[in-house]
């Protein structure tokens, strides 16, 4: 149990990787562990594509970058990018700065986004929409619940990768270009792109993760109830 606690408290988002390759056997072993994640009705509504082809990786990079620069521009303007409650006019205004951010990135060394084709392991995780019990489907708000049958699996991939000395990050940036990604990877329209998982040997692994303490997000009996404090 100590090892589990450590894994849960020390699995950071890693976006910088060495050039050391990761074998298919390792990827298969990671997925072999992650597949035991819970899902609604045990339907396991996920489908994974390991992207190895350099041209396909480069195409994914090119699809990724415009959204990435929009994301950075909205963040620089103090917005939560693509929040379901966002002011669309404020977002549009903020995104006007995206080309300048892209130009600065092109002039520099770039990060994971600019070099997505170099990431040792890229896993596209699709969700089979026909297998999801999305009980909030008909509510008059953004739908969320269906992800509960897929994202535990995605998180388990990161946890399982740690056992092999790997780190990684879950990114949903490419979902904005879902139709193009589906075409690129041969996925039918009945599948939604839930996430892209990047894995590799970390250049560095953060050890001090910053998270809010429990009383700041947990209360008793009501959302406006007393903070949940240890006794």
pLDDT at 207: 74
CA distance 7 to 230: 22
CA distance 198 to 134: 27
**75-108, pLDDT tens digit by residue?**
999 999 999 999 999 999 999 999 999 999 999 9
Domains, the chain, in order of start with CATH, read 13-203 (3.40.109.10)
**108-122, pLDDT tens digit by residue?**
999 999 999 999 999
CB atoms within 10 A of CB 129: 14
> What is the number of residues in the chain?
231
**214-228, pLDDT tens digit by residue?**
999 999 999 999 999
Q: How do 191-200 and 167-171 pair as beta strands?
A: antiparallel
Spatial neighbors of 206 by CB under 8 A, at least 6 apart, are 12, 14
CA distance 139 to 177: 25
Main-chain dihedrals φ then ψ at residue 218, nearest 5 degrees: -125, 130
**33-46, pLDDT tens digit by residue?**
999 999 999 999 99
CA distance 151 to 148: 6
CA distance 192 to 178: 7
The percentage of the chain sitting over the pLDDT mark of 90, rounded to a whole number, equals 91
């Amino acid at each position: 149990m100590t090892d589990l606690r450590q894994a849960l408290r020390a699995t950071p988002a890693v976006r910088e990787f060495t050039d050391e390759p990761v074998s298919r056997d390792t990827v298969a072993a990671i997925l072999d562990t992650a597949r035991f994640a819970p899902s609604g009705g045990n339907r396991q509504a996920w489908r994974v594509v390991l992207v190895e082809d350099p041209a396909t990786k480069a195409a994914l990079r090119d699809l990724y970058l415009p959204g990435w620069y929009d994301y950075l521009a909205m963040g620089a303007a103090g917005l939560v990018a693509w929040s379901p409650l966002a002011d669309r006019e404020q977002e549009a205004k903020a995104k006007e700065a995206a080309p300048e951010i892209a130009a600065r990135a092109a002039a520099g060394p770039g990060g994971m986004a600019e070099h997505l084709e170099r990431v040792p392991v890229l896993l596209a995780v699709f969700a089979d929409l026909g297998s999801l019990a999305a009980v909030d489907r008909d509510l008059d708000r953004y739908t969320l619940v269906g992800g509960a049958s897929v994202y535990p699996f995605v998180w388990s991939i990161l946890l399982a990768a740690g056992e092999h000395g790997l780190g990684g990050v879950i990114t949903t940036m490419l979902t904005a270009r879902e139709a193009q990604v589906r075409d690129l990877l041969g996925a039918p329209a009945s599948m939604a792109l839930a996430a892209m998982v990047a894995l590799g040997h970390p250049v560095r692994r953060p050890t001090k993760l910053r998270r809010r303490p429990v009383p700041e997000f947990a209360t008793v009996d009501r959302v406006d109830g007393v903070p949940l404090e240890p006794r």
